Structure 1
Amino acid sequence: MTNHKILLSLSKKLIVSCQALEHEPLYGSDIMGRMALAAQQGGASGIRANTREDIVTIKENVQLPVIGIIKRNYPDSSVYITPTIAEIEELVSAGPEIIAMDATNRLRPGSLTLEKLIGQIKDRYPGQMLMADVSTTEEAIEAEKLGFDVVSSTLVGYTKETGGKKIYDDDYAILKQMLQHVHIPVFAEGNIYTPEAAKRCLELGCYAVVVGGAITRPQQITRRFVEGISF
């Protein structure tokens, strides 16, 4: 399937983020593979996944486009999502249709700029589709200039520029700004807890919507219910 057809298959659709970190009860590639299968059976059109191992297993279980990331900490950078060319190489070997990476204005490990890292990726893997996980409209604009195929609101609220903000604040004001200023597809992601919220993002003009914890993290779902019934 061509990159264009892959994006078309995600247009106005739901992408389910199937991720579990080591300290979480559902951690494990086998579990994430089955979680992705459940998402596919429920009607999801794509999967977002973390680690090479999870992506390989998920692709064995479902026939959906996969957005791949690797979350990895480095001591000299706060960038966490696919921070270096090493993670890109691991991901390419797993074959995700799209690779997502932090596209904020923060320096990568080794004081590498986003521009230089993108240059490395484009040189080595010119056909690989890339998603920019951003926190601000300015970052989204820069990501488009650098050649990203897709931009996502993943990091709204997770940077010093957006600390405490949610994408749904002021009727999704930040999504509206991004949609006004970039021409590549804008994916809505982050704190989308209900079908109504997901639909609102699409109504505003988002290309697709990514939902994770509200579907695939039972501990978060349970916590919301517990808090909701507390007197």
Structure 2
Amino acid sequence: MKTILKALQGGLVVSCQAPANSPLHDAEVIAAIAAATLNRGAVGVRIDSPGHILAVRSRCSSPIIGLWKQVMPPSPVYITPQFHHAEAVAQAGADIIAVDATQRPRPGDETLSLLIHRIREQLGKPVMADVDTLDNARQAVAAGADCVGTTLFGYTEATENQTPPGFDLLRAMVAECPVPVICEGGIASPAQARQALDLGAYAVVVGTAITGIDSLVMSYLQAVKTSDT
């Protein structure tokens, strides 16, 4: 487990995902995007869903942080919410399993501690705990997470009024957490990626700013569209 995490140290991980209604939301397209980022020096990729992970694994040997987004109302937890999701992600070829590690109500009766334990012991995979607050980072570490990420800062009820990247949270997590802290969420420029590493991030994950074609096009169109008046 430590060897896999060591491969990410000090590097750039690219999140290669696309909206479900985008033409890019295709396993072979995602695999091509992932291969392109790795060819240019990214140390790993973050991939959603077993099908996409399997396609990326067939083309790449670099570390994959795998997850499976599953919406399961009324629970707000959707990043690899249950063990069978983690198992499918592992079987598809992920090296690290990312899970929602907030203390929000989870679907079913499986606790976060049990989920982390089962992933580590039954699947033999390290766990990346996606959190939103320092307290949740502390609890994730206590539950056995191998690394923690700022992934959910700005995306939960407790942090919805704050805008990522969460550099203050990152700084606090680096100071208090005895495991690698990964900065993810809202990194919009190379300068910000460098800043995250300078603040002590073990690695930095960038998604939309590199691979978010749909979102980026909409942002540009919003800026250049002609007024109706």
Mapped to 1, the partners of 2:100 and 2:128 lie a distance apart of: 9
The number of residues matched between the two structures is 226
Do 1:167 and 1:175's aligned partners in 2 also have CA atoms closer than 8 Å? no
Q: Which residue of 163, 166, 173 maps to 1:166?
A: 163
Q: Percent identity?
A: 38
Which residue is 1:222 aligned to? 217
**More off after superposition, 15-24 vs 48-57:** 15-24
**TM-score, length of structure 1 as denominator length:** 0.92
CA shift, 1:24, in A, is 2.0
Please say if 1:179 is aligned against 2:180.
no
Do 2:66 and 2:96's aligned partners in 1 also have CA atoms closer than 8 Å? yes
Mapped to 1, the partners of 2:163 and 2:7 lie a distance apart of: 27
Mapped to 1, the partners of 2:137 and 2:80 lie a distance apart of: 17
Please say if 1:70 is aligned against 2:65.
no
Please say if 1:137 is aligned against 2:128.
no
Mapped to 2, the partners of 1:230 and 1:198 lie a distance apart of: 30
CA shift, 1:105, in A, is 0.2
Do 1:167 and 1:173's aligned partners in 2 also have CA atoms closer than 8 Å? no
Where do 5+ consecutive residues of structure 2 fail to align?
A: none
User: RMSD of the TM alignment (CA)?
Assistant: 1.7
Which residue is 1:207 aligned to? 202
Deviations 1:115-167 (A, max 9, x none): 23234334423x21100000000011111111111100110011111112123
Which residue is 1:151 aligned to? 148
Mapped to 2, the partners of 1:222 and 1:71 lie a distance apart of: 24
Mapped to 2, the partners of 1:35 and 1:122 lie a distance apart of: 29
> Residue 74 and residue 168 in structure 1: after superposition, are their counterparts in 2 closer, same or farther (change >3 A)?
closer
Which residue is 2:185 aligned to? 190
Which residue is 1:102 aligned to? 100
Where do 5+ consecutive residues of structure 1 fail to align?
A: none
CA shift, 1:8, in A, is 1.7
**TM-score, length of structure 2 as denominator length:** 0.93
